[in-house]
């Protein structure tokens, strides 16, 4: 083989560098396309929905007239459902994560639980809706209530909370446990006074990401049969005639933000597009601010913790 001349070698290098640069441009293009889409999405909703950003929009019930319709029952419903979801998913998820990291022996039961959790994360959310329809709505007789919806979303985000709890616990060095046990603490005391407090920021990040996912979920809630047109609020405790009990609201019919948006988006009347845009922006603002808090927490955690 004839050796290359200096010019030829330079040409080879130049070609390689050119290809590198072309790819760099392509990479930046793809990345900025993703960013442009986020911006376009938000801008579109802000511009279209701007005339609805009034106090009335937040305080009115759904209505047949687009200009009078509001999202009161939707955001109240979303908050109540999130409350039930958090109440069910956080203790279960943290306890399960704690068990798998601190208690579980390496045996087939643990293996099954671990494989199961990673597979559950890949199950489509609408399948959870079918599960809830069969079990919560009909077998347990909870009906199409806030309770059914909250428990469904809790099962849906359980894998997220378990995984983030485990990651947070795994990052705690063994010497913390050894120190605690050396002064006579039991395993539970070690968990209660050391592991859980130190893992708290990580757990919190997972909880927020999980709830942000749950608040935007539509499919499972539609599947259990949430109504799309609700012009009343769930009964507040100790109000009304006869007085509602403390927990009567959990069995009330409800609607949530994503369902309200779906309802408005699928109407042929373009006036409802404006409502859908405004409600979409409110939902986006909720979800993105929750995610931003989680990302910030994680960033802060990474900087502060030095064992």
Partner 1 sequence: MSANNTSGLPQVSDRLAFNAMRNWKEKLIEAILLGAAAVSVMTTLGIVYVLVSESIQFFSHVSIVDFLTDTQWTPLFDDAHFGIMVLISGTLVSSAVALLVAIPMGTVIAIYLSEFANGKVREVAKPVLELLGGIPTIVFGYFALLVVTPILQFFFPSLPGFSLLSAGLVMGIMIVPYIASLSEDAMRAVPMSMREGAYAMGSTKLYTAIHVVVPAAISGLAASYILAISRAVGETMILAVAAGMQPNLTWNPAEPAATITSYIVQVALGDLPHGSIGYQTIFAAGLMLLLITLVFNILGQWLRAKYRETY
Instruction: Give, as ranges, the residues between 46 and 85 that touch partner 1 (CB under 8 A).
Output: none
Q: Does 258 bind partner 1 (CB under 8 A)?
A: yes
Q: Least distance in Å: CB of 223 to partner 1?
A: 5
Where does 143-290 show beta strands of DSSP type E?
Answer: none
CB proximity list for 303: less than 8 A, separation 6 or greater: none
Q: Least distance in Å: CB of 32 to partner 1?
A: 10
150 and 224 Cβ atoms separated by less than 8 Å: no
For partner 1, which is the closer residue by CB, 18 or 59? 18
Q: Does 274 bind partner 1 (CB under 8 A)?
A: no
Choose, by CB under 8 A, the member of 47, 79, 200, 288 that binds partner 1: 288
219 and 301 Cβ atoms separated by less than 8 Å: no
Q: Which stretch binds partner 1 (CB under 8 A): 66-74, 175-183, 206-214, 241-249?
A: 206-214
Choose, by CB under 8 A, the member of 96, 153, 168, 230 that binds partner 1: 96
> 57 in helix, strand or coil?
helix
Q: Least distance in Å: CB of 128 to partner 1?
A: 8
Interface positions, 161-200, toward partner 1 (CB under 8 A): 162, 186-188
Interface positions, 125-154, toward partner 1 (CB under 8 A): 125-131, 133-135, 138
Angle between helix 196-216 and helix 271-304 axes, rounded to 10 deg: 170
d(CA 234, CA 254): 7
In this structure, what token pair is assigned to residue 16?
């390689």
In this structure, what token pair is assigned to residue 42?
């938000």
Q: What is the dihedral of CA 154, 160, 162, 166, to 10 degrees?
A: -160
In this structure, what token pair is assigned to residue 215?
């608040």
For partner 1, which is the closer residue by CB, 41 or 305? 41
CB proximity list for 257: less than 8 A, separation 6 or greater: 71, 74, 75, 77, 78, 215, 279, 282, 283, 286
Q: Which stretch binds partner 1 (CB under 8 A): 16-24, 66-74, 174-182, 193-201?
A: 16-24
Interface positions, 97-126, toward partner 1 (CB under 8 A): 98-100, 103-104, 112-113, 116-117, 119-120, 122-126
Q: Least distance in Å: CB of 247 to partner 1?
A: 22
Q: Does 1 bind partner 1 (CB under 8 A)?
A: no
Fill in the DSSP letter of residue 62: P
For partner 1, which is the closer residue by CB, 133 or 146? 133
């Amino acid at each position: 083989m004839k050796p290359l001349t200096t010019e030829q070698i330079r040409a080879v290098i130049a070609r390689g560098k050119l290809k590198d640069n072309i790819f760099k441009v392509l990479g930046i293009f793809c990345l900025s396309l993703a960013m442009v889409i986020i911006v376009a999405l938000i801008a579109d909703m802000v511009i279209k929905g701007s005339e609805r950003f009034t106090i009335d929009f937040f305080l009115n019930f759904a209505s047949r007239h687009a200009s009078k319709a509001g999202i009161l029952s939707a955001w109240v419903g979303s908050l109540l459902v999130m409350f039930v979801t958090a109440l069910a998913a956080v203790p279960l998820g943290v306890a399960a994560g704690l068990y798998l990291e601190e208690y579980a022996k390496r045996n087939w039961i643990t293996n099954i639980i671990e494989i199961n959790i990673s597979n559950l994360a890949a199950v489509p959310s609408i399948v959870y809706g079918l599960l809830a329809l069969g079990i919560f709505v009909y077998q347990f007789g909870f009906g199409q209530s806030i309770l059914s919806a909250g428990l469904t979303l809790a099962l849906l985000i359980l894998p997220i909370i378990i995984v983030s709890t485990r990651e947070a616990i795994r990052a705690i060095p063994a010497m913390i446990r050894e120190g605690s046990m050396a002064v006579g603490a039991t395993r539970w005391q070690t968990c209660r006074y050391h592991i859980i407090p130190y893992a708290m920021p990580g757990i919190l990040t997972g909880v927020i990401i999980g709830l942000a996912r749950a608040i935007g979920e539509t499919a499972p809630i539609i599947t259990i049969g949430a109504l799309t047109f609700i012009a009343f609020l769930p009964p507040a405790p100790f109000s009304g005639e006869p007085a509602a009990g403390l927990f009567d609201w959990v069995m009330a019919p409800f609607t949530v933000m994503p369902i309200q948006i779906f309802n408005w988006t699928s109407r042929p009347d373009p006036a409802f597009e404006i409502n859908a845009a405004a409600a979409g922006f409110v939902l986006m603002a909720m979800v993105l601010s929750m995610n931003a808090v989680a990302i910030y927490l994680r960033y802060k955690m990474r900087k502060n913790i030095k064992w």
